[in-house]
């Protein structure tokens, strides 16, 4: 018997909120300080606490992750071409555009959906200056292999770490790999400041340059020494972050239980593969993502997506479309479909499931039951497609 739809919509995520009374106390501090932005006490406190939590030797806050990455690339002084992945949120490659850098798209690994490190070296030319990789859905890239390639060819390595808040690789903070790692603190993330972001980086000499870049290039009230932007995190955002950081571990534990529920109840459904398998310190618990093989499941990803909507369930087709399909990249050799076979295949097969602590294991179990019930057996499939 078909299960009943959820009474209220179930979305892919829900923001993590701190205790309202605690946040109100922070707001009182801001009101008393009379300072809303420009490196106030809340900003300084959050920056210090996040550097410690993330194990970052150097960390700077920004008003969103996109500007953090954009200005981080600017600070590195990159030119020419940057090897990157087509399977990411548009902001990753848009930051290259704004720095007048040309993306060179590298196909993805079909298991992790990260950039395929084995295919990077063949794409390097005299114009290549960096590798911009993305830890997709919290699956860490092959950081050591990527670094060996970068060292061999004297390239910079930048990581889009929007999905890896708090993640470790063999006990080491994920931001300890590469030249810099961008974090996103958007409302949809495990840790949020409503909007916000940060750069973790190794070179202490970049501290002042990043401060200048995110504050109009102002050295002081009378000197503008470079062309910058307004990318400062304000005090209200920082206060939100201070309080959300206190509840992140509770949220991680809830998501761990959700993950186990999904894994248990999706097991044995033909054509369903779980992409986000990591847990504990190796996982950010940012997303729970599945791959749908329509030849076994009996429905395509898009068909399942549409059927779930009838049950008031709204997952996301992360990341669709591919960045390489944007019209302004159609002329690039690396964007040609034949050069990106796995990217082009998997972009039509993956689905990010509802994944947030308040969802609860009962709701997750029901979602799995619906997915199981929507599975079409091979016999039925033949009749279904006639």
137: containing domain: 20-245
Q: Which of 245, 268, 291 is the last residue of a domain?
A: 245
pTM: 0.95
Contacts of 138 (CB under 8 A, 6+ apart): 163, 164, 167, 276, 278, 283, 284, 285, 286, 287
Reduce the DSSP state of residue 201 to 3 states and report it: strand
| Inside any domain, residue 1 | no
> 280 and 184, same structural domain?
no
Instruction: List per-residue pLDDT tens for the chain, 386 residues long.
Output: 578 999 999 999 999 999 999 999 999 999 999 999 999 999 999 999 999 999 999 999 999 999 999 999 999 999 999 999 999 999 999 999 999 999 999 999 999 999 999 999 999 999 999 999 999 999 999 999 999 999 999 999 999 999 999 999 999 999 999 999 999 999 999 999 999 999 999 999 999 999 999 999 999 999 999 999 999 999 999 999 999 999 999 999 999 999 999 999 999 999 999 999 999 999 999 999 999 999 999 999 999 999 999 999 999 999 999 999 999 998 999 999 999 999 999 999 999 999 999 999 999 999 999 999 999 975 455 454 44
> 229 and 258, same structural domain?
no
Domain CATH number, residue 205: 3.40.640.10
| Inside any domain, residue 329 | yes
| Inside any domain, residue 363 | yes
| Inside any domain, residue 161 | yes
| Inside any domain, residue 135 | yes
> 282 and 237, same structural domain?
no
> 164 and 24, same structural domain?
yes
Count structural domains, the chain: 2
> 278 and 237, same structural domain?
no
| Inside any domain, residue 13 | no
> 41 and 175, same structural domain?
yes
> 258 and 188, same structural domain?
no
> 212 and 113, same structural domain?
yes
| Inside any domain, residue 77 | yes
Interstrand relation of 81-84 and 102-105 (parallel, antiparallel or unpaired): parallel
Reduce the DSSP state of residue 22 to 3 states and report it: helix
Distance between CA 83 and CA 181 in Å, rounded? 16
Work out the burial of residue 240: count CB atoms within 10 Å of its CB; fewer than 13 is exposed, 13-18 middle, 19 or more buried: buried
> 192 and 220, same structural domain?
yes
Q: Which of 217, 245, 273 is the last residue of a domain?
A: 245
Reduce the DSSP state of residue 196 to 3 states and report it: coil
What pLDDT score does 377 carry?
Answer: 75
Which among 123, 164, 112, 78 is positioned nearest to 324, based on CA atoms?
Answer: 123
Work out the burial of residue 85: count CB atoms within 10 Å of its CB; fewer than 13 is exposed, 13-18 middle, 19 or more buried: buried
| Inside any domain, residue 10 | no
């Amino acid at each position: 018997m078909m299960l009943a739809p959820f009474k209220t919509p179930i979305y892919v995520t829900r923001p993590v909120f701190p205790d309202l009374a605690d946040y109100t106390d922070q707001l009182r501090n801001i009101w008393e300080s009379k300072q809303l932005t420009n490196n106030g006490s809340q900003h300084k406190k959050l920056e210090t606490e996040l550097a410690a939590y993330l194990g970052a030797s150097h960390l700077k806050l920004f008003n969103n992750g996109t500007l953090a990455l954009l200005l981080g690339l600017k600070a590195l002084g990159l030119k020419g071409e940057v090897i990157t992945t087509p399977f990411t949120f548009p902001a990753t490659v848009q930051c290259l555009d704004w720095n007048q850098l040309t993306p060179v798209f590298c196909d993805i690994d079909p298991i992790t959906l990260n950039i395929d490190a084995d295919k990077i070296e063949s794409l390097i030319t005299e114009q290549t200056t960096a590798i911009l990789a993305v830890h997709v859905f919290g699956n860490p890239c092959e950081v050591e292999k990527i670094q060996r390639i970068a060292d061999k060819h004297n390239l910079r390595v930048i990581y889009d770490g929007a999905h890896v808040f708090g993640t470790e690789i063999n006990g080491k903070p994920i931001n300890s790999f590469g030249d810099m790692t961008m974090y996103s603190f958007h409302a949809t993330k495990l840790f949020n400041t409503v909007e916000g972001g940060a750069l973790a980086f190794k070179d202490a000499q970049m501290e002042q340059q990043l401060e200048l870049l995110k504050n109009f290039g102002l050295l002081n009230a009378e000197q503008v020494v470079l062309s910058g932007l307004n990318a400062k995190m304000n005090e209200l955002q920082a206060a939100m972050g201070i309080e959300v950081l206190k509840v992140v571990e509770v949220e991680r534990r809830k998501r761990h239980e959700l993950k186990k529920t999904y894994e248990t109840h999706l097991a044995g459904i033909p054509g369903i593969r779980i992409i986000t398998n990591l847990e504990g310190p190796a996982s950010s618990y940012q997303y729970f993502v599945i791959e749908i093989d329509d030849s076994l499941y009996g429905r395509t990803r898009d068909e399942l997506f549409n059927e779930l909507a009838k049950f008031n369930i709204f997952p996301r087709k992360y990341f669709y479309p591919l960045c390489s399909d944007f019209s302004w990249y159609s002329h690039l050799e690396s964007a040609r479909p034949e050069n990106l076979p796995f990217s082009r295949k998997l972009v039509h097969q993956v689905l990010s499931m509802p994944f947030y602590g308040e969802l609860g294991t009962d709701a997750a179990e029901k979602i799995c039951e619906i997915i199981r019930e929507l599975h079409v057996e091979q016999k039925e499939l033949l009749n279904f497609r006639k």
